[in-house]
C-alpha cells in the first residue's frame, strides 16, 4: 500500500478538508445535488465546515456500490475479512489522537475525558471483531443417520447503519465491525451534527478495505436516513437514536420484512443502598451520569435512588465532586465537561430545567462554574444539575433529558427502590451499590434492563453484550452474539447421504 494517509492533528483543517463529501465506492464524492449544510462547533457556535447533503440519489449510489462489492467481500474467508478489519484497527490506532480531536471539535465533548477515550474504543471494537472471524461457524444437527445436517452463517448482504451524534465513532464501530466481519457491505448515514470523525474513519479504513465495502453518507434523517431504510437492496438496518425515529424505522422495516437492531433511549436507575461504600458510589454516580459527556448518553444514570440513611451525605458529596469539574473548551486538556451538541438540544435541556424550577418543593443544585472567556460566550454550555425532592411523576424523573441533569430520590425499603426503578418505559441500563451480596444478586436479577452493574457504572465496551428491553430497543450489540444473531442469516443444509 502506498501513500498512506498521515494523521492531521489540526481538527479545523481536517473538517475543512473533509467538507462537502460522502465516501462511496472508495472515493470521496460530492452529493448528487452538489448541496451541503453547515456543521458548527458547539463550544463557539462557529461553522467548522460543510457536510454533503445526502438524498435519495446519493443513497442509491452508495447502496449500488455496496451491493457490487459485497459478493467478493463475502467470498473471502471469514478469517481474511477479520484480518483486514484488524488491520483497520491498527490504522485507527495510529490516527487515534487525530480522530479524538476531530470528534471533540464537532460534538463539543472534552478531549481528555471523552473524545480521546472514544477514539481508543473505536479502534478496540475493530480489534475485538477482527479476531472473531472464525466464530462464524454453524452447528451439526443429529437429525437422522441418513442425513448430514449442518447450519451455515451467511451474510445478509447490504447493511444500512444510522448513527447518532453523542458517541458517533464508537457507536458506528459497534455496528459496522461485526457487519463487515460477517461478510456484509455497509452504508452508514452519519448524524447531521457530527459527520466528520466518522467520515475520516471511513476514509482511513478504505485504505485497507476493498472499495464499496464501507460507504458513508451525511444528511438529514428524513431525506437521507429514510431512503436508506426504504431502499430495496438494504437487507438490514441497525440504528441508534430516539424512540420516535426508531418507531418510524421499524415501520418501514416491517413493510420490507427486514430485520432491525434498534438501540433507543434510556432513563437508567442507580440504586444506592444504606450499606454502600459512599465514596465509590459517588464516583460511580459521576461516571454513570456521564457528566463528562454533558449527560448525553442513553445509559446516563439519570434516576438515582438513594437510601434515606445516606441520601443527604450522598447528595452533598456528589455536588462537591461535580463542583470540582471544569467546564470549558473541549480541546483544552484542563476541561472535564464540554458543550451540548446543538441549539435544539440545548433548548430541550433548558425546557426541563424550567419545569424543575416551576415545580413546588423541588430543589435544583447547579454545579461547577460556567466557562469564562469571550471565545466561548456563544457556546452551548450547561451547568450540571442535581435535582432533589422530585415528585414521582415529574418529567425530569421520568423522561430522557439527554443533558447533565440527574434526579436523586430517597427510599427506605429495598422493595420500594426496586418498584421505582422498574417503573419506567425504558429498560437499558441500571446499577446497584451495596456491600451485601444477597441484595446485589437479587437486584441484578430483578432490575428490568439489558445492562446491569453492581458497584460500578462503566460504559459499553466491545465484548459486553449491550442493548435494551421495553422501549429501549431491540437486539444486542458489542458482543459475539451481536455479530452472529444480527448480521447473519442461518441456513440449514441437509445432505442426504444415501
Closest CB to ligand ADP among 36 and 442?
36
Looking at 115-123, 239-247, 286-294, 371-379, which segment touches ligand ADP (CB under 6 A)? 239-247
Closest CB to ligand ADP among 216 and 318?
216
Distance in Å, CB of 181 to ligand ADP, minimum = 23
Check residue 114 for interaction with ligand ADP (CB under 6 A). Answer: no
Closest CB to ligand ADP among 203 and 345?
345
Distance in Å, CB of 349 to ligand ADP, minimum = 12
Q: Considering only CA atoms, which of 259, 188, 264, 265 is closest in space to residue 485?
A: 259
d(CA 6, CA 474): 39
Distance in Å, CB of 263 to ligand ADP, minimum = 10
Closest CB to ligand ADP among 243 and 283?
243
Q: Considering only CA atoms, which of 113, 109, 128 is closest in space to residue 197?
A: 109
Looking at 136-144, 237-245, 361-369, 377-385, which segment touches ligand ADP (CB under 6 A)? 237-245
d(CA 427, CA 440): 18
Q: At what angle do helices 78-94 and 116-130 cross, to 10 degrees?
A: 160
Closest CB to ligand ADP among 59 and 276?
59
Distance in Å, CB of 187 to ligand ADP, minimum = 12
Candidate residues 15, 171, 180, 191; the one interacting with ligand ADP per rule CB under 6 A: 191
Distance in Å, CB of 169 to ligand ADP, minimum = 14
Candidate residues 96, 161, 229, 272; the one interacting with ligand ADP per rule CB under 6 A: 229
Candidate residues 195, 212, 225, 330; the one interacting with ligand ADP per rule CB under 6 A: 225
Check residue 326 for interaction with ligand ADP (CB under 6 A). Answer: no
Distance in Å, CB of 109 to ligand ADP, minimum = 14
Distance in Å, CB of 246 to ligand ADP, minimum = 7
Per CB under 6 A, which of residues 142..171 are in contact with ligand ADP?
162-164
Residues taking part in catalysis: 263, 298
Candidate residues 242, 394, 455, 469; the one interacting with ligand ADP per rule CB under 6 A: 242
Distance in Å, CB of 249 to ligand ADP, minimum = 6
Distance in Å, CB of 197 to ligand ADP, minimum = 14
Check residue 245 for interaction with ligand ADP (CB under 6 A). Answer: yes
Check residue 192 for interaction with ligand ADP (CB under 6 A). Answer: yes
Candidate residues 249, 270, 300, 315; the one interacting with ligand ADP per rule CB under 6 A: 249
Candidate residues 108, 133, 235, 241; the one interacting with ligand ADP per rule CB under 6 A: 241
Closest CB to ligand ADP among 188 and 322?
188
Parallel, antiparallel or unpaired: strands 36-40 and 47-52: antiparallel
Candidate residues 148, 248, 287, 461; the one interacting with ligand ADP per rule CB under 6 A: 248
Check residue 54 for interaction with ligand ADP (CB under 6 A). Answer: no
Closest CB to ligand ADP among 245 and 268?
245
- 158-162 β-sheet, strand order: 27-29, 22-24, 214-217, 185-189, 158-162, 236-240, 260-263, 473-474
Cα 165 from chain centroid (whole Å): 8
Q: How far is CA 434 from CA 50, 272, 300, 429, in A?
A: 49, 7, 19, 17
Check residue 222 for interaction with ligand ADP (CB under 6 A). Answer: yes
What is the size of the binding site for ligand ADP (CB under 6 A)? 17
Residues 6+ apart with CB under 8 A from 5: 95, 203, 204, 207
Closest CB to ligand ADP among 130 and 467?
467
d(CA 221, CA 202): 20
CB–CB of 385/405 below 8 Å?
yes
Closest CB to ligand ADP among 112 and 348?
348
Looking at 47-55, 60-68, 184-192, 452-460, which segment touches ligand ADP (CB under 6 A)? 184-192
Check residue 102 for interaction with ligand ADP (CB under 6 A). Answer: no
Distance in Å, CB of 198 to ligand ADP, minimum = 10
Closest CB to ligand ADP among 51 and 483?
51
Residues that bind ligand ADP (CB under 6 A): 162-164, 189, 191-192, 220-222, 225-226, 229, 241-242, 245, 248-249
Amino acid at each position: 500500500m502506498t501513500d498512506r494517509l498521515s494523521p492531521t492533528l489540526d481538527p479545523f483543517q481536517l473538517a475543512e478538508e473533509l467538507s462537502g463529501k460522502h465516501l462511496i465506492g472508495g472515493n470521496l464524492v460530492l452529493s448528487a445535488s452538489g448541496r451541503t449544510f453547515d456543521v458548527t462547533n458547539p463550544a463557539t457556535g462557529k461553522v467548522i465546515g460543510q457536510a454533503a447533503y445526502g438524498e435519495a440519489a446519493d443513497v442509491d449510489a452508495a447502496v449500488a456500490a455496496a451491493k457490487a462489492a459485497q459478493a467478493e467481500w463475502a467470498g473471502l474467508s471469514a478469517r481474511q475479512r477479520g484480518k483486514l478489519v484488524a488491520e483497520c484497527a491498527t490504522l485507527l490506532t495510529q490516527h487515534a489522537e487525530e480522530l479524538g480531536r476531530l470528534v471533540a471539535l464537532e460534538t463539543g465533548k472534552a478531549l481528555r475525558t471523552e473524545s480521546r477515550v472514544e477514539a481508543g474504543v473505536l479502534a478496540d471494537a475493530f480489534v475485538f471483531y477482527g479476531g472473531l472471524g472464525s466464530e462464524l461457524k454453524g452447528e451439526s444437527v443429529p437429525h437422522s443417520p441418513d442425513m448430514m445436517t449442518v447450519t451455515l452463517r451467511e451474510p445478509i448482504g447490504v447493511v444500512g447503519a444510522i448513527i447518532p451524534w453523542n458517541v458517533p465513532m464508537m457507536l458506528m464501530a459497534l455496528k459496522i465491525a461485526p457487519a463487515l466481519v460477517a461478510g456484509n457491505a455497509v452504508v452508514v448515514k452519519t448524524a447531521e451534527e457530527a459527520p466528520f470523525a466518522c467520515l475520516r474513519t471511513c476514509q482511513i479504513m478504505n485504505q485497507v478495505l476493498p472499495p464499496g465495502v464501507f460507504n458513508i453518507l451525511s444528511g438529514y434523517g428524513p431525506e437521507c436516513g429514510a431512503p436508506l431504510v426504504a431502499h430495496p437492496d438494504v437487507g438490514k438496518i441497525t440504528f441508534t437514536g430516539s424512540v420516535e425515529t426508531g418507531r418510524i424505522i421499524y415501520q418501514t422495516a416491517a413493510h420490507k420484512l427486514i430485520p432491525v437492531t434498534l438501540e433507543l433511549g434510556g432513563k437508567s436507575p442507580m440504586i444506592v443502598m444504606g450499606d454502600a461504600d459512599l465514596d465509590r458510589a459517588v464516583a460511580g454516580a459521576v461516571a454513570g451520569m456521564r457528566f463528562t459527556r454533558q449527560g448525553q448518553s442513553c445509559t446516563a444514570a439519570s434516576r438515582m435512588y438513594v437510601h434515606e440513611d445516606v441520601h443527604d451525605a450522598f447528595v452533598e458529596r456528589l455536588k462537591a465532586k461535580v463542583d470540582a469539574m471544569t467546564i470549558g473548551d473541549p480541546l483544552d486538556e484542563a476541561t472535564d465537561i464540554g458543550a451540548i451538541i446543538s441549539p435544539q438540544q440545548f433548548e430541550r435541556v433548558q425546557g426541563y430545567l424550567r419545569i424543575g424550577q416551576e415545580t413546588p418543593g423541588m430543589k435544583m443544585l447547579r454545579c461547577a462554574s460556567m466557562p469564562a472567556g469571550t471565545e466561548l460566550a456563544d457556546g452551548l454550555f450547561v451547568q450540571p444539575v442535581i435535582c432533589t425532592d422530585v415528585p414521582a411523576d415529574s418529567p425530569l424523573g421520568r423522561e430522557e433529558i439527554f443533558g447533565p441533569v440527574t434526579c436523586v430520590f430517597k427510599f427506605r425499603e429495598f422493595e420500594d427502590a426496586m418498584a421505582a426503578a422498574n417503573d419506567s418505559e425504558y429498560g437499558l441500563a441500571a446499577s446497584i451499590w451495596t456491600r451485601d451480596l444477597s441484595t446485589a444478586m437479587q437486584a441484578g436479577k430483578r432490575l428490568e434492563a439489558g445492562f446491569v452493574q453492581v458497584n460500578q457504572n462503566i460504559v459499553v465496551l466491545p465484548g459486553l453484550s449491550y442493548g435494551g428491553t421495553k422501549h429501549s430497543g431491540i437486539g444486542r450489540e458489542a458482543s459475539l452474539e451481536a455479530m452472529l444473531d444480527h448480521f447473519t442469516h442461518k441456513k440449514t443444509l441437509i445432505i442426504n447421504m444415501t
